[in-house]
Structures are given as C-alpha cells and as structure tokens.
Structure 1
Amino acid sequence: MKRSLFILLFLILQQAYAQQQIKGTIVNGADLAALENASIVLLDSDSIMRYFTRADQQGKFQWNTIKSGNYIAIVSYPKFEIYSQSITVADKPLQLDSIKINSQSNLLEEVVVNQRIPIKIKGDTIEYDAGSFETEKNAKLEDLLRRLPGLTVSATGEITAQGKSVSKVFIDGEEFFGYDPKIAIRNVRADAVDKVQVYERKSEEAELTGIDDGVRLQTVNVVLKEEARKGIFGNADANIGTHNLFDANLFAAKFNKTERIGLTGNWNNMGNTGDASRIRMNNQIIGDPMYKNAGINYDNNFLQRKLQLNSSYNFNNRSLDNESESFRTQTLNNGITQETTQESRTRSDNKNNNLRAQVRYRIDSLSNLNIQLNGGIGSSASENISRSSTTRNAAFLANDFDRNNSGERNNENIDLRVDFRRRLNKNGRSINLHMNTHVDNSRATDLVDELTNYYDSLGMLNRSVLVDQTRLTDNKSNRLSGAINFSEPLSKQMNLTVGYSINSSSRTALINAYNNTDNGTVSVLDSLYSQNQLDAAINNGFDVNLSYNTEKVNINVSTKATYRYQELTDTYRDINLDRNFWQNNINANINYRISNSRNLTLGYQNNANVPSFAQLQPLQPPTNDLFRQLGNPDLKRETNNALNLNFNKFSLMNASSFNINASTNFTNNAIVNRSIIDSSGRTTTSFVNIQDFVNWNARINSNYTKPIFNGLVQFGPFAALNFDNNYQYINGELNRANNTNGNLGINANKQSSKGVDFNFNLSLGLNNEANSIQRELDNTAFRSSSNADLKYFLPYKFSLTQVIFYSYTGKTKVFPEPIQQFYMNLELTRKLLKSESLLLSLKAFDVFNSFNNINRSSSNGSFSETQQELLSQYLMVGLKWDFNKNLGKKND
C-alpha cells in the first residue's frame, strides 16, 4: 500500500516538471493600443481547453507553467476578430510577438468562430461542456462525471453534486431506466455526451400542480450530441471465478432521434445488483446470494411530437442464504446493563415485477394532459432460525429465545395519476386539474414457532412462553385524491396560484393468528396476536403559491392549510378512535443570481406532522413475547421548522468551483418512542410528545474543486460539520444526547489515458457523543477512510488497475478495541481488436485476505456489533465487449 501511494505521489509531482513560460501582448491592429481583458485560450491537439487567462491593462499576458507540447492559441476581444495561431512549447521560455487583432468594422467578410467554454451558469443551472473534459476511449458517463468540478461518483455509483445527493439522472430530459439511474451512468458512452446540466428541481407534485411543497431534488440532465441520438450501442460481459462465482451482464440500446429502446439483464451469485464484479466496488460476498434482473425501457414521440411516451418494465429476483452473529448491549438506569447475543440463519427469496409508464399529450396549443401509471406484482418466501440469550450486567441470565419461523407473501399495487392543464388567456391564466388513485393489496401466511424462557435473579427458570401459530394476513388499502388549481399572472414578474385539494384513504388490516394443536383439532384464534383493523382518513386542503421572477432574483412562497379527520376501529380489541388535526405547511425559497458565476439560494420550510394510526392505537398485536407496542390516543401533532442555504461559485478563468450548503432543523412537540425494559428483558414501548424541549440539528458542508498541474488533475478538498441535539428516552428516563461530527478530506482525479490515471479520496473525522444521563459513556472517537483506484497504462494495450481501501473506526467506552478494515483489489486487462472494443480481464479481490467484516452501530443508549458469513478473497476471469454502430458518428 505504501508503495502504491508513493507511486501516486511521484506521478503527480512529476507533472510539475517539463513546463515552460509563455509571454505575449495583445494590441489593436489599427493603432497598436493595448486591449485590456482580452481572452487568451490554449487548446491541445484534441481541441480541449488546457489554459486560460486575460490580458492586463498593458495588454500583456503570461503563463508560468505550460507543459511542453503543441497548442492552438485563440485570442478574442468584444467586436474584434478572432485570432488563432499554432504554437509549440519546447524546452525554453516562449516570447510571442505582439499579437495584432482588428476591429470587426474593418473586416470585409463575416467570421464565425465556435469557442468552447467548459463551465457556464444559466440561472440556477450549472452546465458543463463535456468535450472540455478528457476521458479514456470507450469511457462511460460515470467516468465523465468523475471529471466534472463539483461532482463525485462513489464506487457503488451514487452521485453527489455540489455536496448534495443526486436523486435523478435524465437523458435529454427524460428518465432512462428510471427505476435505476446507475444503468444510465454505467452504460451511456462519454463520447456521445454534449453537455451535462446540474440543477435542483421541484418535486413532481409541485411541477404538475404549480404549488411549491418546498421539496428540492438534485438532478443531473445529460444532453447528447445531435449525431449521438441515432445508432446502436451497448456492452456485454461475462465473468467466472473461484468458489463457483459468476457474473453476466448485458446492455443494449437503440436510439433513433425521438425513439429510444434499451434492454438490460444481469445474473450473478455475488449479491450485487448488476455488474457485480466491478473492480472498484467493495465486493465482499455475504452468505450465499443469487440475483437475476431483466428490464426494458421505451421512449418515443408520436403524432408530430404531440404525444410523448416514457415507459419501463423491470423484473428482479433476489435470494440469500446467510448466517450471522451479533452482540448488543443496552445501558439502562441505576448502573444496569443488558447484553444480548444472537446466532441466526436466514433464507429469503424475493421476486418483483414493476411497470412504469408516463404519457404526455399536447392536446392543442392551450391544453396538456399528463398520465402516469405505475404497477407492481411481487412474491417472497423467508425462513428465520435463531437463538439468543440476554443477561444483566454480564452476569445474570434474564431470558433466552428460540425462533423457527417461515412465511410466504404476495402483493400487488397500482397507481394512476392524471393531470390536465389548460391556459385560459393570452396573459398566462391557467387551470390545473389533478386526480390520483392508488390500490395496494398483500396477503401472507406465516408459520411461527417461538419459545421464550424467563429466569429469576438467581438464574433459575421462572416461566416459559411457547408461541406456535399459523398467522394469516390480508391487508387492503386504497387512496383517492383530487385537486384544482388556478394560476393568474399579477404582472410580468409575479404569478399567483390558488387551489383546493381533497384526499380520502382507507385501509383494512386483518391478522388471524391460530394456535396450532398437536391432535389435529380445529385451531383456536389467539386474539392477542390477531388484528381486525379498519382505518380511514379524509384531508381537505387550501393552497396559495406566490412567485416573483426577474433576471437576478427568483422568489417562491407557498402555504397550505389542511384539515385532517381520521378514525380507527378494531373489533378484536374493542378499539374505536376518531381524531382531527389541522396541518399547516409554509415554504419559501429565494434564488439570487449574484453574477454569471455565483449563485445563492435560501430556503425555509414549516410543516406539521400528525401522529399515525400505529402511534395512536392503544395496543398493536405483538410479534413475539419479548416485545409489546402500546399507542397513545392523546398524542398531539409535532411541528418542524427548517432553514437551508446554498452558495456556489465557478471561476471560468481557472475552471474551479466552490460550494457551501448549510441547514438547520427544529422540531417542537416532537413525537418520540418511550421504551421500558423490565427485569426479565421484556420491552414495552409507546409514543409521547416532548413538550418542554426542542430537538434540533445543524449541518454545514463545503467543497472546492480546481484543476492542477495544467488541468491534468482535478483536485478538491471538502469539509463537513454536523451537530445533533436530541431528547430521547432511555428505559423510561429522558436523555439529552449531543452528537458532533466533523470531517475533512480531499479528492483527486486524473484521466488522460497516459502513464497512470487515478481516483483518490481521503477523509478524516472526529465523533463526539455526550449525554445528560449515563455520562460515563460520553466518548470522542477518531475515524478515517481512504480509497484509491489507480490505472497503470502498460505496453501492448495492457493495463493494471489497483484498488486500495482502508478505514479506521476508533474505540468507544463500550467497545475498547478499534476496527480497522483494509483490502486491495487488482485487475489486469488487455484490449483486443483494432477498435479496442473487446476487453479481457483477470481480477483478484482482497489480495491479502485482510478484510475485517465487523460492523458496529449505536443509537439511544443501545450499542451493537454484528458479524456475518462473508467471502472476500477470490479470483475472476472476464471478457467484455463494447459495441457501437453509428452512434456519435457524423454524416458526411
């Protein structure tokens, strides 16, 4: 590992050498007057911008560190001709003669020059020019996103943009395999991309109704080149390995202007969802898994682009046979601790079919219709065999518990949404009608065999409880909602929307728990574990939304007042409840475009959350004898107030980006769980409002990205600070828990397909925990994480990829030993064929068999440590074929 890091550092440092200085002056060709602020750009042989600067008051410009090579210098100045010149940077400083450019008024012919700017800010959208960022041949969209300032892509494919997690990835404004955005970033070719746009969009509900709900979703939209919107492309790969491992993947797509068809398929026994043998991923195999997946995506426009269809279907089958061990300790009051150890074996098999379709129809120039249909059918089977024991103060046995359960489930759901929008006059007055219905049904049969033994203070068996049942579950729910909204422009900058909505929902939950008998007689219904529940709710809401938009400022304020009536009955428990609540939601967002390169966003949200049926009902049916959940019919609503701020800045002169986002949230009258554990280890839990204290938290994150070493490396430090102040109950006592987390780190990325390419991430952090009770458990722990993947380009089309991961989790008062995790993966590849589209690979995972699979977690006075059956060291041989027919190729 040290050797690899040394090589990485050496390769970065060597870029500082073989560099020279360039000087020059820009003047008016007519009178030789200096042209202040003239733009000077150096492009490499691939027309990718490498250097950028501006002339000073004397028209002079200077670069001090220009890497040797051939370049094209382009000089531009408003209302002057565009000047270009080929230059060669060798082994000595270069002094250019005075560059004379002429005013366009003196030109006899019109000159048209296309100049590429790598980053632009358009309102609240950040736009990257894909051609300005170099990637390897046959690279995918994922590789391109790693190169863009302000964006990061984790080893598992999660995207972060300007410090926020990306929830949607669009291709030309449309979802492509919307059920899994990773499919798009791992398969769309980087050389087919023209631009990448990053922005925050409103929720789908707000976009369709015009009423802002305060939800903002970080979104990436990939704009394809015009010539890349027609053609066939995809890839297929197969891998086999030791321990009978295999992984097969197929992706194929056909683009034809407006029509897009995509197919995907995965099959592996490694547990991951597609492309399981990726060398970058943490490929520890848990238990004995099997995963199958097949999907299709179809998009097209019909009726002269009046009708748009976006649809997808997906089938997946995931099964797992696993063994695990866990240890959990809970700190109770009066110096008492409770320790639980468990060994378990689980089996599961889940099958799901999901269909998604959206139709957008432009009826005429004034009317639009939007229809969305989502549906799913699924089934599952499971088995759980486990044994656990609980002690007090690591000395006195409180109980032991044996379980042998199995079950089968079937479910189906369908959701239909219709939105109609019509413009009523030329000034922009419009009406929006909305209807939504959702139906969800599930059935289950569970065989339950559980034995609980309780012991007295001397460790003698006190009593035993046997639960031997067949439980039949039948749940049905449906929801119907509608809304009407009117929008009226008050001026050119201001718009008002008012609306009314109604929502009706009902649900039946039937659980018949029959005690099994040995003599084969009719089973008897056990009312304690059974349920015959009906709940219903009606919401009536009024909405007001006011927006103000100028070139610099966008302001949006909305408020919604909702009256909710809900009732619940359960004939098995003689429960008959009805409650009513007022809910108020206020959302305000201000976006201020300070300049073309700086943007500031402020947001405020206020909302009220009413207690759920599960929290209100006096008693829920238990699942085993060790746990009871009580409700609280007297619960009140809780209110949340949230503030958030985001600032981003881009410098076009050095292609750097800076982003900072901060948020804070306050919850009054918070609904929290109050659990009490008795001397036998039984837990009884209920819900209460915290009326005298406020739960709150604060977050701040920042990151900075800048190209260094002549743009060869994207370098980015980042920092984060989180604080939580929460009031929770520990065994019936109110505890104030303060948690502070600080984190510092750096990212570095190089992709030039020469020498060594790399992605590197290093993070260092501290975690401090402080409590108002049980202060002896207050703790400060250090943690760190680093991962790097280095790709060495070798002769004869060979390459070697090295993935290194290391993490350290410090010791705590409960766990006095720290956890260190380390693994290294290697992949040797050879490109075949003239097009280099065929790739042969040999992969070695966890070369030193050093990965530690212990996981720890803590919450509200409870600390747990788990360890699972795991395979981390294995070898695989694979063959991958990238195919591309016409995609991205311009016609003559």
Structure 2
Amino acid sequence: MKSVFFTIVGLLLWSVSIAQINLNGKILDKSDNTPLTNATVVLLNQDSILKYHTRANENGAFEFNKIKPDDYLLVISYPKFELHSEKIQLKANTKVNDILLSSQANLIEEVVVTGKIPIRIKGDTIEYDAGSFETEKNAKLEDLLRRLPGLTVSGDGSVTAHGKSVSKVLIDGEEFFGYDPKIAIRNVRADAVDKVQVYERKSEEAELTGIDDGQRFQTVNVVLKEEARVGIFGNVEANLGTEELYTANLFAAKFNRTERIGITANTNNMGANSGGREGSLRMNSQITGEPQNTSIGANYDNQFFKRKLNVNANYNFSDASNRNERQSNRIEIFPDITQQTNSKTDNENSSQGHNFRSEFKLRIDSTSNMELQVNGNQSKTNSLSSSENYLFRNETLAVRDFASSNSSIGDNLSNEIRLNYRKRLNKNGLSLNIHLNNNFEESDQESMVYQKTYFHKIDTMVSDRTTIVDQNRFTDSRSNRFSTQLQINNRINQKMNYSIGYNFSMNDSKNKVDAFNNNDSGNSIDEEYSQNLINESRNQTIITNLNYNTEKLNFSISNRTNYRNQALNDSYRDIDLSRDFWDNDLNLSSNYKISNRKNLNASYQNNFDIPSFSQLQRLQPQTSPIFVQLGNPNLKRAVNNNFRLDYSTLSLLKGTSWNLNSAIGFKSNPIVNKRTVSDTLTTSTYVNVTGKSSWNANLNSNYSKPIFDRKVQLNLFTGANYNNGFTYTRYSKDGSYTDQAQYELNNTQNASLHTGFSFNEQDSKGLDYDFNWRINVNNQRNSLQADLNYTNLSTGGSTYLRYFLPKQFNFTTQINYNIEGPTKLYKQSIQQFYTNLEFSKKLLKNQSLVASIKAFDIFKTYNTTNRNVSETEFSESTQLMLTRYVLFGLKWDFNKNLGKKNNG
C-alpha cells in the first residue's frame, strides 16, 4: 500500500512541475499612463481554449508563473476600455512591453469585441462558455462539467455546483428524458454545447402556483450551439465479461431545430439500469445479487404553431429482476439487557413497468399561457422470499426461532393530470393563476404467507411452544387525490408584490386486506390480520405571499393556513375516527447580495407534524405473530422550527469559491416510538415526549481554488453534524402491553465531525487525475446503557488516474481505501480496499470507436460487510455480491452533422 501511495503522489507532483516559463507585463491607460488596476488578463491557446487567467495589481502589473511553452493569444480587457489581443510565442521567460489601452470614449472607430469570456455572472446565474474549456474528442457533457470551476460530477452521475447538489439538468431549458436526467449528461456531446448556466430554481410547485415556498434547487441548463440543433448523434456499447456478464447500451438522438427525438435501450445482468454506466470505473461497480435488467426509453420534444405550443413526452419500459442472499447480526439495547438477532434471508423479485410523462406548454396570447402535464405508470411485480432468524438474550441465551416464506404477485396503476393557467390582467402586474391536479392510484396484490415461530423454554414464565401462521392475503388499495387552487398576484410598487390564493383538496382512499387461514375449513377472514380501511379528507387553505425585491435584497414571506376535515373507518375493527382542526405553515426567506461575488441567504420555517391515522388508530392488523403495531388516539401535533443560513463567495478570475451552509431545527413535543419488547413479542406504539425537544444541527464548509498556476483544482471541505432524539422502551418478561414494568426514556445523541480535501487536474493530455481523502469522527451517546457509548474514527479516500498514451492508447485506474473504527459492540475495524483498471484504445480515423479491457477488484480485497447504527440498534450485514470480474468492450460514437457549421 505504501509503494502504491508514494507512486501516485510522485506522478501527481511530476505532472504539475513540467512547465517552468514565466510571463509578465504592465497595463496602463494610454491617455495618462496611469495603471489599470484589476484589468483582466487571459491566455488562450491556438484553439481559443482558456489556459490561464489573472488580474493586474495596483501598479497595473501582471505575472504568470510556470506556464507550459506554447503559442498563445494574450487577451486583456478593462471596463469601458478597448479590448487588446496579441499573439505571443513562449519558449523562454518573457516580459511584454507596456500595454496601453484607450478609453472607448476616446476611440474614433467602433470597437468590435470578439474575444470569449470564459465565465460570466448574469444576475443570479453563473454562465460558462463551453468552448473555453478543453475536452478530448468525442467527450460527453459529463466530461465537460467536470472541467468547469466549481462543478463536480461523481461516479454515479450526480452533479454538485458550488457546494450544492444539482437536482435538474436541462437542455435548452427543457428536460431531456425526464424519467432519468443522467441520460443527458452521459450522452449529449460536449462539442455540441455553447453555454452552461448554473442557477437556483424554485420548486416545481412554486413555479406552477406562483407561491414561493422557500425551496431552491440547484439547476444546470445546457445551451446548445445553433448548429448543434440539427443533426444525429449517439453511441452503441457492448461488453462481455467473466462470470457470464454482459451489458449492451444504445442511445440515439435526432435534433432538427425545435424538434428533438431520442431513444435509449439497455440490457445487462450487472445491476439496475444506470444510463449505460454498468462497469464504469468511476462507480462502485460491485454486482449485488444476480440481477437481470432491460429497459427501452424514448423522448420527443417539439414546438408547433409558430412556437406557441411546446410538447415534451417521455416513455420508458423496464423489466428488472434480482435474486439475493443476505445475512445480518442485529443488537438492540435495553435498560438491563441486550437482544441479538442473527438472520438469513433469500429473496427473488421481478417487475415490469411502463412509465409515461408528458408536458404541453401553450402560449395562448401575449397575456396568457397554459401548462398541462399528463403522467401514467403501470407495473406488475412478483416476489418470493424466505427468511429465518434466531433471537438471543445477552448474546448467549436462545429465546426464539422464527422462519417465514412469502410469495406475492401484484398489479399497480397510477395516473396524474396537472393543469395550470396564467393570465395577466393588466400592465401593472395583476395576474390570475388557476391550478388543477388529479392523481389516481390503485394496487392489487395476492400473497401466500407461512410463518413458524418456536419459543424456547427459558423459565417458568415462558413455555416451550410453537405457533404457525399459514395464510392467503388479498390486498386491494385505491386512492384518488384532487386539488384546485385560485390565486391572484399583484404588484404594490416596483419593489414589492403580493399574492393571495385559495386551495381546496380532497383525498378518498381505501386499503382492504383479507387474510384467510389455510387450515380453516370454513375459509373465514382472520380479522386479526385483516383490515377494511376507508380514509376521507377535505382540506381548505388560504395562501398569502409577499415579496420585496431590490438590486441587493430579496425578501419573501409566505403563509398557508389550513382547515382540515378527516375521517377514517375500519369496519373489521369497528373503528370510526374523525377530526377537524386548523394547521399553519409559515416560511420566511431572504437573500442579500453583498457584492457581485458575495451572497448571504437566510430562511426560517415553522410547521407542524400532524399525527397520521396510522399513528392514531388504536388497533391495527398484525403482519406476523411476533410483532404488534398499535396507534395512540391521544397523540398531539409536534411543532417544527427550522433555521438556515448560507454564505457564498466566488471569484471568477481567481477561480476561488467558498460556501458555508448551516442549519438548525427544533421539534417540540416530538412524536416518538414507544416499544414493549419481550422474549415472545414486540409491541410498538407512538407517544409525545412532553416538555422536551429533539433537535439537529449541521455546519458545512467547502473551499475551492486553483493551485500550481491554475493547473490543479484544490477543494477543502469540513463539517459537523449533531442529532438529539428520544425513544421510549422497556423490557417485559411476559410481553403484555399492560405489564407494569416501567418505560425508560432513551436520549440518543449523535455527533460527527468530518474534514477532507481533494484535488484534480483534467485537461485530456498526459495525465488526468482526481484524488480525495476524508476523515470522520463519530460520537454516539445513549442513556440506556452508558457503557456502550463510543467514539470511533473512520477515514478513507480514492484516486482516479487516467494516462493518455501515444497512438490513442489510454490507461485508467481507480483505487479506493476506507477504514471504519470499532465500537463497543463490534470490536473489529472494517477495512475496505479495492482497485479497478482499464486499458483502452481509440480506433478509426475520427477516434469514434473505442476498444477496452476492464478489470474490477483485481486483488479481490473488497469487504462486503456493512455496518449501521440507529438510536437503539447496531447491525452488521453481508449479502451476495460479485466484486472481481473482467469486461471486454467496444463503444462506437456516431455523429452526423451535429455541431458542424453550414458554410453553404
């Protein structure tokens, strides 16, 4: 391990120490020779790709250190001054003559600015010029995003922008394959991209209704080149491997100005469909169980009637199955004892589904528009599982053996219709918004259940006995939800606007479970395991929103006052619950733009946790003879107060960014779990912890800057998290709910501190690399058994290296190492180490065909043990997993006309 580590470090240091040439000069005002402080200085290569950039100091001087010898275009800009550009050839240290710029006010002829600015800030949007960032030939959008300062892309395709997770990736403002947004970044060509825009978007509900709910989602919008809106592109990939592994992927798209058509297909036995990323070195490519997956998808997007109507439709078919084996060891703690459960589970499941999503946007006239969404889903499921578990008291005393088998088939159907209409009523900002939504779901399931429980004779309180449950269960679920909202928006003045609205919603649902005992000749319903539940609710809501906007400050306050009418009936248990009550949600948010580079955001939310009927219903159907779930009709609502404060600063020219995110939340009168555990039965219900508050807090910081003359991007991150929660528990020998044994209130406190760093260089020449390391300290405290409290350390990291060799050969490796320290219950550390390798070569004149050999977990060192900790439970588990295998693959990228300018 040491030799591998020092080899990696040596290669990284070598890669950043090749260039040793310096360039410097001075920038002055031509009229009076005064220095132009903070003038922008950019070095572009012969392909107009940004390589280096800096600013002039207070004396007008600038300097680049240790840059690579090459031919460059030196571009200098200063606000309201002419743009200066000149070609320079660097072979040795160079000092350019003083550069004199003329004010645009003194220029006789018009100045045409043709130089590209790599990064711009436009209001709340950061815009990257894609052509200023170099990618290798046939690279994808994913590769381009990795090269943009402030953006990262993980191995599974998740995008992070300036410390915040990106929830949507749009192509020209529209979703592309809405059912899987990762398809866009993995298949759209990098050379087809003109701009990449990063901004925060309101929630879909807020955009449809116009009511700001305070939620913001980081969004990336990819603007295509004009010439890239016409053409055909895509890729085909196939891999065959050891252990009879295979994967095949197809993606094809046709763009024709406003029309976009795309298809995708995948089949593999390596895991859930991940957009053609099976066998990716950047992902954790362990194969869990024995999966089989096939999927086909299509996307259509176009504009009609002189671009007044926009249509976006997506369809996806999936057929997935898996078989898996799992073993686990679980330890639960109580005031005086511990219970240990050793279990083994085998399961098989399969599903087939059709998913359809569509959106129609109609611009009726200059004052009104309408949006219609129609979505549908239909699926069939099959499952077969068997399990056995063995319960021990204090690790050695055998208490109970439990075995079960379950097979089920099910049909599921859902559809949703959403309609939103907006009408501007006058030129002063008065507008009307009408919103309608209907969602219908139904599910039918048939299950055959067999459960056998053997209770060991421990003392005189518990006899040696066996119980058997052998049933057929039929489940019929239906749900229909409808809502409508009318809203008026108006402007008070240029800085302030408000909205007021009324919402009515209703939900009618039923859930019927009929359980028949197979050993009952009368074939009667076993009501202990059955239910006939009807749930009806009617909600009326008054919504108000006030916004104040200036160039520097944005402030929003919104409030939802709800009157709820709810009723629940279970005829099998003679239960009839109804309630009427008021509810209120308050949201405050503000954003202060300290400067073009600095931003401060603060928000506050106040709302309630309303007890659900499943928490209120006293008697509920059993699912097994060893567990009973009860409700508590006396539950009260819990009150939530959440505060958030975010600060960010960004220097585009220096390439630095710093994000500080903090949040704290308090829950008064929390609803918690209350359990009675015995050797024969666990009974669970819910109670309020009166007079106490559970709370959580977190603080996270992320700092990024370029180093080694901007060739390497360095990221430093640190954070702290704290959670304080409660549960009630007690151990009862006879297991009865009425036992007089006292409940103990367990106060659990979890605290963790983490810090780490990463650095990467990606220019598609010589060596690309990405290295990260993380250290985490965990501390857990519980009040039941203080001697089990612990503090442990976990640390680990990974490195991704890609060598660009001659003759279009590439060599890639991914190395991962982690270690998780011991706890009081689990004395052994968990070490994790594995290495993946890939050797590839680009073929054909246009390098569109790539042949590859990939080897995963080459030393067979992957540790399949997984450890989890919750409030009163510790567990370790392993499952059926294939970690070492080899894949032989071919991938062909095709492109017809896309991105090629028409010179005719």
What TM-score, normalized by structure 2, do the two folds share?
0.96
Q: Does 1:547 align with 2:547?
A: yes
8 Å Cα contact 1:760-1:787 kept in structure 2: yes
Partner of 1:431: 432
Quote the Cα distance in structure 2 between the aligned partners of 1:508 and 1:98: 81
Quote the Cα distance in structure 2 between the aligned partners of 1:709 and 1:133: 18
User: 1:712 and 1:134, CA in 2 relative to 1: closer, same or farther beyond 3 A?
Assistant: farther
Deviations 1:759-817 (A, max 9, x none): 22211111111122311111111111211211111222111110111111110001000
Give the CA deviation at 1:294: 0.9
- Give the 3-state SS of the residue equivalent to 2:679 in structure 1: coil
Deviations 1:443-500 (A, max 9, x none): 0000011111122325985222111000011011111111110111100111110011
8 Å Cα contact 1:830-1:840 kept in structure 2: yes
Partner of 1:197: 197
Partner of 2:491: 489
8 Å Cα contact 2:585-2:607 kept in structure 1: yes
Give the CA deviation at 1:68: 2.3
Structure 2 counterpart of 1:847, from 858, 876, 884: 858
Deviates more, 1:700-709 or 1:239-248: 700-709
User: 1:710 and 1:227, CA in 2 relative to 1: closer, same or farther beyond 3 A?
Assistant: farther
Q: Does 1:49 align with 2:50?
A: yes
Deviations 1:75-113 (A, max 9, x none): 22333322222222223x312222233344554432212
Deviates more, 1:615-624 or 1:69-78: 69-78
Deviates more, 1:196-205 or 1:75-84: 75-84
Quote the Cα distance in structure 2 between the aligned partners of 1:211 and 1:615: 31
Quote the Cα distance in structure 1 between the aligned partners of 2:282 and 2:6: 20
Structure 2 counterpart of 1:772, from 780, 783, 791: 783
Give the CA deviation at 1:543: 0.6
Partner of 1:98: 98
- Give the 3-state SS of the residue equivalent to 2:12 in structure 1: helix
> After superposition, where does 1:77-476 map in structure 2 within 5 Å?
77-91=78-92, 93-274=93-274, 275=276, 276-334=278-336, 336-458=337-459, 462-476=464-478
Deviations 1:179-233 (A, max 9, x none): 1111111111122222222222221111111112222222222122222222111
Deviations 1:719-768 (A, max 9, x none): 12111111223444211111111111112222222221112221111111
Partner of 1:640: 640
Quote the Cα distance in structure 2 between the aligned partners of 1:131 and 1:595: 28
8 Å Cα contact 1:730-1:861 kept in structure 2: no
8 Å Cα contact 1:325-1:344 kept in structure 2: yes
User: 1:652 and 1:218, CA in 2 relative to 1: closer, same or farther beyond 3 A?
Assistant: closer
- Give the 3-state SS of the residue equivalent to 1:294 in structure 2: strand
Deviations 1:592-620 (A, max 9, x none): 11111222211111111211111111122
Quote the Cα distance in structure 2 between the aligned partners of 1:723 and 1:739: 6
Q: Does 1:530 align with 2:540?
A: no
Quote the Cα distance in structure 2 between the aligned partners of 1:115 and 1:263: 38
Quote the Cα distance in structure 2 between the aligned partners of 1:266 and 1:391: 46
- Give the 3-state SS of the residue equivalent to 1:208 in structure 2: helix
8 Å Cα contact 1:118-1:655 kept in structure 2: no
8 Å Cα contact 1:350-1:379 kept in structure 2: yes
Structure 2 counterpart of 1:864, from 866, 875, 878: 875
Aligned residues: 887
8 Å Cα contact 1:765-1:783 kept in structure 2: yes
Partner of 1:716: 715
Partner of 2:739: none
Quote the Cα distance in structure 1 between the aligned partners of 2:259 and 2:2: 51
Give the CA deviation at 1:137: 1.8
Deviates more, 1:46-55 or 1:697-706: 46-55
User: What stretches of structure 1 of length at least 5 have no aligned partner?
Assistant: none
Partner of 1:503: 505
Deviations 1:527-586 (A, max 9, x none): 100101111111111010001111111111101100111111111001011122321111
Give the CA deviation at 1:9: 2.3
Quote the Cα distance in structure 2 between the aligned partners of 1:97 and 1:798: 43
Give the CA deviation at 1:837: 0.6
8 Å Cα contact 2:272-2:320 kept in structure 1: no
Partner of 1:62: 63
User: 1:785 and 1:581, CA in 2 relative to 1: closer, same or farther beyond 3 A?
Assistant: farther
- Give the 3-state SS of the residue equivalent to 1:363 in structure 2: strand
Quote the Cα distance in structure 2 between the aligned partners of 1:730 and 1:749: 49
Deviations 1:292-344 (A, max 9, x none): 1111111111111111111101111110111121111111122x111111112
Partner of 1:833: 844
8 Å Cα contact 2:720-2:753 kept in structure 1: yes
- Give the 3-state SS of the residue equivalent to 1:12 in structure 2: helix
Question: What do you get for the CA RMSD once the two structures are aligned?
Answer: 1.7
Task: Give % identity.
Answer: 49
Partner of 1:19: 20
Quote the Cα distance in structure 2 between the aligned partners of 1:245 and 1:61: 57
- Give the 3-state SS of the residue equivalent to 1:595 in structure 2: coil
- Give the 3-state SS of the residue equivalent to 1:572 in structure 2: coil
Amino acid in structure 1 at the alignment position of 2:576: N
- Give the 3-state SS of the residue equivalent to 1:97 in structure 2: coil
Give the CA deviation at 1:823: 0.8
- Give the 3-state SS of the residue equivalent to 1:64 in structure 2: strand
8 Å Cα contact 1:150-1:703 kept in structure 2: no
- Give the 3-state SS of the residue equivalent to 1:785 in structure 2: strand
- Give the 3-state SS of the residue equivalent to 2:670 in structure 1: strand
Partner of 1:38: 39
8 Å Cα contact 1:26-1:55 kept in structure 2: yes
Partner of 2:900: 889
8 Å Cα contact 2:333-2:784 kept in structure 1: no
User: What stretches of structure 2 of length at least 5 have no aligned partner?
Assistant: 731-742
Quote the Cα distance in structure 2 between the aligned partners of 1:626 and 1:670: 27
Quote the Cα distance in structure 2 between the aligned partners of 1:598 and 1:885: 44
Partner of 1:515: 517
Q: Does 1:600 align with 2:600?
A: yes
- Give the 3-state SS of the residue equivalent to 2:185 in structure 1: helix
Deviates more, 1:223-232 or 1:359-368: 223-232
Deviations 1:483-528 (A, max 9, x none): 110111100111110011011111111111000038xx44221010
What TM-score, normalized by structure 1, do the two folds share?
0.97
Partner of 2:835: 824
Quote the Cα distance in structure 1 between the aligned partners of 2:489 and 2:473: 52
Amino acid in structure 1 at the alignment position of 2:157: G
Partner of 1:72: 73
8 Å Cα contact 1:538-1:564 kept in structure 2: yes
Quote the Cα distance in structure 1 between the aligned partners of 2:180 and 2:725: 34
Quote the Cα distance in structure 2 between the aligned partners of 1:383 and 1:271: 19
Quote the Cα distance in structure 1 between the aligned partners of 2:710 and 2:229: 30
Quote the Cα distance in structure 2 between the aligned partners of 1:476 and 1:308: 33
8 Å Cα contact 2:65-2:709 kept in structure 1: no
8 Å Cα contact 2:400-2:679 kept in structure 1: no
8 Å Cα contact 1:825-1:847 kept in structure 2: yes
Deviates more, 1:96-105 or 1:219-228: 96-105
Amino acid in structure 2 at the alignment position of 1:756: L
Deviates more, 1:304-313 or 1:211-220: 211-220
Give the CA deviation at 1:642: 1.0
Amino acid in structure 2 at the alignment position of 1:739: N
Quote the Cα distance in structure 1 between the aligned partners of 2:553 and 2:600: 10
- Give the 3-state SS of the residue equivalent to 1:512 in structure 2: strand
Quote the Cα distance in structure 2 between the aligned partners of 1:824 and 1:57: 50
Give the CA deviation at 1:33: 4.3
Quote the Cα distance in structure 1 between the aligned partners of 2:194 and 2:647: 26
8 Å Cα contact 2:717-2:756 kept in structure 1: yes
Deviates more, 1:181-190 or 1:17-26: 17-26
Partner of 2:748: 737
Give the CA deviation at 1:664: 1.0
